[in-house]
Amino acid sequence: MSNLKDLLAQRAALDEQINQTKDRERSEAISKVKTLMSEYGLSVADLSVRTPKPVKVSKVAAKYRNQATGETWSGRGLQPKWLKAAVAGGAKVTDFSV
What confidence tens digit (pLDDT) does each residue in 26-63 have?
Answer: 999 999 999 999 999 988 888 887 788 888 888 889 89
pLDDT of residue 1: 67
CA distance 12 to 14: 5
| In contact, 62 and 76? CB cutoff 8 Å | no
Q: What is the pLDDT of residues 75-97, one digit of tens each?
A: 888 999 999 998 998 989 888 88
Q: Give the tens place of pLDDT for each residue, 1-17.
A: 689 999 999 999 999 99
Q: Using CA atoms, how far apart are residues 15 and 5, in angstroms rounded to an integer? A: 15
CB neighbour class for 71 (10 Å; exposed up to 12, middle 13-18, buried from 19): middle
Average pLDDT over all residues of the chain: 90
d(CA 19, CA 25): 10
